[in-house]
A and B are shown apart, each in its own frame.
Chain A
Amino acid sequence: MPDTHALVTDFLNKLKKRKIEGSKATAKLTAELLRSVISQQRLPNTNQAGALIHAIKAIGDQLTAANPVEVAVGNIVRRVLHIIREEDVSLTTASIGGLSLQGLSDDDEDDDNPLVSAAAAAAAARTTLRPPSLQTLLEDIPPHSAAAAAAALHHSSSSAGDSEDKTKSTDKNSRSRKLKHNVIEAVNELIQDIATCHELIAEQAVEHIHHNEVILTLGSSGTVIEFLCAAKEKKRSFRVFVAEGAPRYQGHTLAKELVARGLQTTVITDSAVFAMISRVNMVIVGAHAVMANGGVIAPVGLNMVALAAQRHAVPFVVLAGIHKLCPLYPHNPEVLLNELKSPSELLDFGEMSDCMDFGSGTGSPLLHVVNPAFDYVPPKLVSLFITDTGGHNPSYMYRLIADYYSADDLVLQQRPTS
């Protein structure tokens, strides 16, 4: 336990100091961290899922607060929570046996508010982990409306599974191990998914990139490289325009990479995007995060590209691994989901130091350098999302989110009052 604590603080520090950047790396590290937390979490005999969810939520709360801009952290935490819930449900259903009727009581299994009085928690715990009995049914207060959906889901699944298992009393120990084991398995799968999302997305490249097309991209994204190269490998011949992506100029590294893989590449400045867009057949870019409304948080400059693409009716395609899918709706994204980086990426401090001599003049700084890291691209400008599960419309994002996250986890922050 102290070991995980150290790991968590270490990761928190790294997040706070912005030592880990990039949604994929963060997602992977978060998932790995949560996996080790789960594996070392000692579970009580009762209400194991609740305890796990509680632990993960506590950590997730800290993690998201450490760097609110890196939404991938929150996404992974929610995914893991969702996994725990699902595993728990499937385990319970498996052990319920034929008593499909009792399945109904199972709805209180999602302890969303683990801080209720100890008795209630214990009661709730019992219901989740044991085959529900009449007594627990009576003791119990159904927590909230969200449970209804879960109950329905559960009900159907339990009725399906009732035939296989008749022994109600499974050994607790083996059960607890089983839940943990299953969850860790599932988290491993998630890590695997994150690692392979590039390939899954790249597989779809041939369907989108055609012969003699001109593709425009901005900045650098691992997913975009793989996507373009996959098309190249399928003998598609096309040209790529790379906008350099000031001020970080990641476009330069992208261009290098593309040329190394034998793609015809042209580097342009960001400001030349509008002039070039009319010759472009498709814009393909990566994203930092995809919000629930289909809006995209992306490297700075992309909103401009999206607007240019819209003006010339060029499809604007966003590649996003499923870990980038954020179940939140953006509110004031330009400010709240943005990070202002150091102005030294734009200007050399030494060169400008005489402009910033606060000793002379009025003392108020006349020069201000703003270096935002991200842009918000509203959903109406996005033509298509390509995720590991296929291509989707922006308006379909909410549906995907419902598949991957439980509605109960959307708000990670624990309210101290309840």
Chain B
Amino acid sequence: MGAKKGGKEDAVEDMPHVPLKAILLADSFTTKFRPITLECPKVLLPIVNTPMIDYTLAWLESANVEEVFVFCCSHSKQIIDYLDKSKWVNQPNFSVSTIESHNCISAGDALRFIYDKNVINGDFVLISGDTVSNMILTEALQEHKERRQKDSNAVMTMVIKQSKPSQITRQTRLGTDELFMAIDPATKQLLYYDDKSDDQKGTLTLDKAFLAENPSISIHNDKQDCYIDICSPEVLSLFTDNFDYQHLRRHFVKGLLVDDIMGFKIFTHEIHSDYAARIDNFRSYDSISKDIIQRWTYPFVPDVQFSLNNPTNLERHGIYRASEILQSRSAEIGPFTYIGKGSSIGGKTVISNSVIGDGCKIGSNVLIDGCYIWNNVTIEDGCNLKQAILCDGVVMKSGSVLEPGVVLSFNVVVGQEFVVPAYSKVSLLPQPVTQDSDEELEYADNNSGIIHTIDTLENGNSRTEWESSEVGIGGRGFIWSMSEVDHEEEWRHSVAPIPETKLIELTQMVFDNLELNIQDDIVLAVPGEQESGNESDDDNMDDSLQIFEKEIEATFLRAVHEKVKDDHIILEVNSLRLSYNLALEDCASALFYSMMKLALDTTHTSPASLVKNANDVMSRYGKLLKPYLQSVDGEIEVILKFEEMCSESAKEFAAVFVQILHMLYDKDIIQEEAILNWAEEKEGADESDKVFVKQSEKFIQWLNEASEEED
């Protein structure tokens, strides 16, 4: 009966059915999990006592993916061995095959390699082996397929999820940088992607043309990239065509978005109730572990046997207990803790918010808070551990202390009563000397070297040449030194929460930034005095106009003194205009103002010489005004400005108003029509306003007559 049923399903599905494939990159091509990843591939690192790759594979299986290609690079043998032993290889409707390569140093290389293998012929899911998700893929797949039918350029659908970044640290809860995305709200097309915010200020610069091209965009900084992509086969060929693409996001996505020649488009699919996150650094390791324990990843939680994990019972307050645990009566297990099979816990030990792997031996009077302890770790009496990661086989001798953020790699021994300083990373392997600061550095490069060093270490053990200074008496391991920059930023990506002092410091920085930057609209309210004056919009406008005029004047004067080319002056004025968001007329009047100011400032003895000065300036720089005097309105604006100058700032011009006006007319800067319109406008004004009109009455009359004659 069962067989028959299966057959029927196949028949229904077979007609349009193309098996859904997935590429799983079992290598992150980064060094963020060093030193652990020197000895074990990242995807095999346990998260809540199950290797990360199991979460990914379990999800792929539940999402009805039928064929998975696991791409292994560094430590490929370990991964292949693990998969051979795991249950994933013998599944009826789920095949896992490995692709091995040793000379890939980036995701781009990996995809190029897979393209050469020619195994992908339809849509596929691109995922890295450190992703934890429980999302239902069908909807996203459907959307992707429908878009593909309409538009063959829609090559990729990226899964995103809402997640608010912290206002203070400018990073998400997963420890990644704040991500800016611009998405077309109607089509969900991704238009802009930037995960490097400018010096942590949370500013974003968009091209104006970009805004002009897209009638509606919504810009988000509260979206998290889940690193789950549904791709069309073109993606692989794109990587092959652009051999310089290395990083999936930094190169590929950005390259596609910037390059509009090919017209390829990327779309987004937002998930709401589902969970998806990638373990990118130690901070996300911590966050995702807690999410798993809090069951956001259901059904991929410890008490459901989705892989080969041991049967585990969930008790009240989120305590997970595997079988065969020896626990002293006086030991206190706090909430949100996982305790693996065959572990023993001594008396008066307090454990909270931690994960303890299989076969661990924990002595008495130990304090463990927020730690991730992997398998077969021995912790002797009286140790104190806070927010640390302890890999397999670590031994903590009695009385030793781990300060927050410590990472102890495989088989490290911490000596008696030794205090490991915060954020230090300890490994049996010495730190590679030539450490490239580039993140893209592939640890597989050093593979051969590592094996070599391990050998020497094994030999060295008998000699017990471990320096007591590194990790205490009887300890084994090197404390990796960190460069100054790394050390500064260490708190960002650590398993330990950000220390209070750091937060205060950062908050202060945010406040400082706010005070500097008036337009920064960060929601934190600041008791600022400087801003208070600029509350209303009108004031703001006037202010900016004044500042603008000053800027123009300075630019102009500098140009005069440094004899800058006219074109360049126009360019500078234009850029000023854009940055202050003002009209052409404003530029014209401001420029004119600065020219007159120049004429005025040049030494003169009589009104006549003032006119001459003005004449000189105008004949030299008059053409600068041309680009801004496109319309009659602009010219009127100039006259009004001049009038204002005469009555306010530069009264000396008042006497020679007509001469100058005439001069401007002669030089074709101001046309007859503008002057006439100006006069007409002034007709109804107050007497006091008419002073200059009256002055130039004769000139206007002459103009009128001249025009009549022409008719």
Contact stretch, chosen from B292-300, B469-477, B598-606: B292-300
Contact check, B298 vs A342: say whether CB atoms are below 8 A apart. Answer: yes
Known contacts A343-B294, A350-B162, A365-B353: A18-B299 contact under CB 8 Å: yes
Known contacts A350-B163, A353-B163, A360-B166: A342-B295 contact under CB 8 Å: yes
Is A102 on the interface with B (CB-CB < 8 A)?
A: no
Contact check, B275 vs A344: say whether CB atoms are below 8 A apart. Answer: yes
Residue of B nearest to A67 (CB): B304
Contact check, A359 vs B162: say whether CB atoms are below 8 A apart. Answer: no
A299 to B175 CA separation, bound complex (whole angstroms): 38
A10 to B497 CA separation, bound complex (whole angstroms): 42
A340 to B303 CA separation, bound complex (whole angstroms): 10
Residue of A336, A343, A364, A369 with most partner-chain B CB within 10 A: A364
Residue of B nearest to A7 (CB): B2
Contact check, A354 vs B162: say whether CB atoms are below 8 A apart. Answer: no
Q: Mark B457-470, 1 if CB is under 8 A from A, else 0.
A: 00000000000000
Is B268 on the interface with A (CB-CB < 8 A)?
A: no
Contact check, A358 vs B497: say whether CB atoms are below 8 A apart. Answer: yes
Majority secondary structure of chain A interface residues (helix, strand, loop or mixed): helix
Residue of A nearest to B92 (CB): A6
Known contacts A35-B1, A358-B173, A358-B290: A17-B283 contact under CB 8 Å: no
Is B274 on the interface with A (CB-CB < 8 A)?
A: yes
A228 to B33 CA separation, bound complex (whole angstroms): 60
Contact check, B287 vs A358: say whether CB atoms are below 8 A apart. Answer: yes
Size bracket of the B interface:
35 or more
Is A329 on the interface with B (CB-CB < 8 A)?
A: no
Is A357 on the interface with B (CB-CB < 8 A)?
A: yes
Taking a contact as CB atoms closer than 8 A, the residue among B2, B162, B295 that contacts A343 in the complex is B295
Taking a contact as CB atoms closer than 8 A, the residue among A336, A342, A351, A357 that contacts B296 in the complex is A342
Contact check, A359 vs B134: say whether CB atoms are below 8 A apart. Answer: no
A265 to B8 CA separation, bound complex (whole angstroms): 40
Residue of B nearest to A65 (CB): B311
Is A32 on the interface with B (CB-CB < 8 A)?
A: yes
Contact check, B295 vs A340: say whether CB atoms are below 8 A apart. Answer: yes
Is B315 on the interface with A (CB-CB < 8 A)?
A: yes
Q: Mark B168-211, 1 if CB is under 8 A from A, else 0.
A: 11010101000000000000000000000000000000000000
Is A33 on the interface with B (CB-CB < 8 A)?
A: yes
Number of interface residues of A (CB under 8 A): 43
Contact check, A16 vs B306: say whether CB atoms are below 8 A apart. Answer: yes
A-chain residues with CB within 8 Å of residue B171 when the two chains form the complex: 359
Known contacts A10-B92, A340-B314: A363-B286 contact under CB 8 Å: yes
Known contacts A359-B498, A361-B497: A350-B2 contact under CB 8 Å: no
A31 to B291 CA separation, bound complex (whole angstroms): 37
When A and B form their complex, what is the total count of cross-chain residue pairs whose Cβ atoms lie within 8 Å? 129
Residue of A nearest to B503 (CB): A360
Considering the complex, which residues of chain B in the window 287-336 have a beta carbon less than 8 Å from any beta carbon of chain A? 287, 290-291, 294-299, 304-306, 311, 313-316, 318, 335-336
Is B273 on the interface with A (CB-CB < 8 A)?
A: yes
Taking a contact as CB atoms closer than 8 A, the residue among A32, A335, A342, A360 that contacts B1 in the complex is A32
A36 to B272 CA separation, bound complex (whole angstroms): 41
Taking a contact as CB atoms closer than 8 A, the residue among A6, A10, A348, A356 that contacts B272 in the complex is A348
B-chain residues with CB within 8 Å of residue A6 when the two chains form the complex: 92
Is B341 on the interface with A (CB-CB < 8 A)?
A: no
Known contacts A365-B336, A368-B318: A348-B173 contact under CB 8 Å: no
Is B496 on the interface with A (CB-CB < 8 A)?
A: yes
A372 to B335 CA separation, bound complex (whole angstroms): 17
Residue of B nearest to A356 (CB): B173
Contact check, B497 vs A344: say whether CB atoms are below 8 A apart. Answer: no
Residue of B nearest to A338 (CB): B314
Q: Mark A358-395, 1 if CB is under 8 A from B, else 0.
A: 11111111001101000000000000000000000000
A-chain residues with CB within 8 Å of residue B335 when the two chains form the complex: 368
Contact check, A19 vs B62: say whether CB atoms are below 8 A apart. Answer: yes
Residue of B335, B497, B503 with most partner-chain A CB within 10 A: B497
Is A3 on the interface with B (CB-CB < 8 A)?
A: yes
Contact check, A17 vs B287: say whether CB atoms are below 8 A apart. Answer: no
Is B387 on the interface with A (CB-CB < 8 A)?
A: yes
A-chain residues with CB within 8 Å of residue B497 when the two chains form the complex: 358-363
B-chain residues with CB within 8 Å of residue A311 when the two chains form the complex: none
Taking a contact as CB atoms closer than 8 A, the residue among B2, B92, B173 that contacts A359 in the complex is B173
Is B161 on the interface with A (CB-CB < 8 A)?
A: yes
Residues of A within 8 A of B (CB): 3, 6-7, 9-10, 13, 16-19, 32-33, 35-36, 65-66, 335-336, 340-345, 348-351, 353-354, 356-365, 368-369, 371
Residues of B within 8 A of A (CB): 1-3, 58, 62, 91-92, 134, 161-164, 166, 168-169, 171, 173, 175, 222, 272-275, 283, 286-287, 290-291, 294-299, 304-306, 311, 313-316, 318, 335-336, 352-353, 369-370, 387, 496-498, 503
New A-B pairs, 13, CB < 8 Å, besides A340-B295, A349-B272: A3-B3, A13-B91, A17-B299, A340-B298, A342-B299, A349-B162, A350-B163, A350-B222, A356-B173, A357-B173, A358-B173, A359-B498, A364-B370
20 contacts between A and B (CB under 8 A): A16-B304, A32-B1, A36-B1, A335-B314, A335-B316, A342-B134, A342-B275, A343-B295, A348-B162, A349-B163, A350-B161, A357-B166, A359-B173, A359-B283, A362-B497, A363-B387, A363-B497, A365-B294, A368-B318, A368-B335
